[in-house]
Structure 1
């Protein structure tokens, strides 16, 4: 067990009947870094996220959040996790502020602490002026900002992002990618970001390439380029996910 890692996944396998979705997956996510999880459709990314968030039980292997086993100490482990799913989970008929207050209450925050953190996160995401608007009035990019603010309210050690920029216009996508990378660097938070968009990867990111349920490569961008003998992440990804 590495208590310094935000997330440790050890020898995790998972099957849907006879179909193996994950096969002895091992990796760690360190704090202060953005780790990009890359993989073709069907690679096992969604299954892995479902196991980390306890939507599915982990029948084989072990998953720890900040040193806490998610099966043995579920509540304590998941208290360290902030999540932004691919599909929005905001209540469209509530205002931005009402959505965030509800989430803060679920985490047991006092009204005073919740108000302070909501103000801070909305200001950082340039959404404070829109706090009284109903979510259904917001465009996709602004809804994503609210979801990121919500995920950060309880100050998690790990931010889990499941393709959060899907369907967004280029300016909105760029803004969110820049913000999350800045957050990892300055806030010492760990980020695990599932994406299929190569241009969302920064040179100092860490990469995990998942293909057919197996980890094909894990490390810094430079390490993966060197190990695959390629010049770009796109070429490295193609080499790691083709031909088997």
Structure 2
């Protein structure tokens, strides 16, 4: 994306946001609550429309080639979006149908993705019988079902216990490495950042740092990424 800006009711929410992700790159969009992370995701997924700036997915302009661009991305929203009364299979099959898959192809891909998520035995379970962490894994499997090149995750660990949160972060890092998917992971939690991650710090709607952990620590003369984050965001609540 390049020079993306957005205002709501006359108040700037994002100002001149620019960055680019490469295939297989895990980028953490790190910012305190209210920094503009969810708004940014809403613009990328076209829940909101933008008038200033440019968003491209796989080289496709989001305004001019919306359908094709969205076919190249998978999304896990902050709020759960699975149908609780349907089985895991039914949730994934419906998503597959939306992307033009035959029932057999959707079933094959669902089995493949759930195996990667270590949930191959859950295909016929109703979603309401799963734990919070398991539901998130199903949402990620759904987001990857159509083999996107970009996976967006907006605060995906909200409401999970510590063990589930750690497991989910590790799983997505592994998927990024194994499948070469570019990942944009939005969070306000420092412990979800891995040493090899790229970190994009968003504060008050602006990118105030972008790079590896070592680069950002050097930029802020800090001893840790947590200290660097506090300095960049003026110690606002995470």
TM-score w.r.t. the length of structure 2 is 0.97
2: CA distance, partners of 1:211 / 1:236 = 13
Q: Does 1:62 align with 2:54?
A: yes
Match of 1:30 in 2: 22
Cα deviations by residue, 1:132-184 (Å, 9 ceiling, x for unpaired): 11111111011001101000000110000001111111121111111101111
Unmatched 5+ residue regions in structure 1?
A: 1-8
**Do the aligned partners of residues 243 and 111 (structure 1) sit closer, same or farther apart at CA in structure 2, a change above 3 Å counting?**
closer
1: CA distance, partners of 2:192 / 2:35 = 19
2: CA distance, partners of 1:95 / 1:53 = 26
Match of 1:3 in 2: none
**Do the aligned partners of residues 97 and 24 (structure 1) sit closer, same or farther apart at CA in structure 2, a change above 3 Å counting?**
same
Match of 1:188 in 2: 180
The answer as to whether partners of 2:89 and 2:107 remain within 8 angstroms in 1 is no
Cα deviations by residue, 1:49-79 (Å, 9 ceiling, x for unpaired): 0000011111100000011000000001011
Match of 1:150 in 2: 142
TM-score w.r.t. the length of structure 1 is 0.94
RMSD over equivalenced CA pairs, Å: 1.2
69-78 vs 124-133, greater mean Cα deviation: 124-133
Shift of 1:243: 7.8
Cα deviations by residue, 1:96-127 (Å, 9 ceiling, x for unpaired): 00000000000001223212111101111121
1: CA distance, partners of 2:34 / 2:160 = 22
Q: Secondary structure at the match of 1:32?
A: coil
Match of 1:161 among 146, 153, 178: 153
Cα deviations by residue, 1:171-205 (Å, 9 ceiling, x for unpaired): 21111111101111121110000011111110000
- Hey, which bits of structure 1, 4+ residues long, moved more than 6 A? none
Q: Does 1:110 align with 2:102?
A: yes
Shift of 1:81: 0.5
2: CA distance, partners of 1:58 / 1:179 = 32
Match of 2:36 in 1: 44
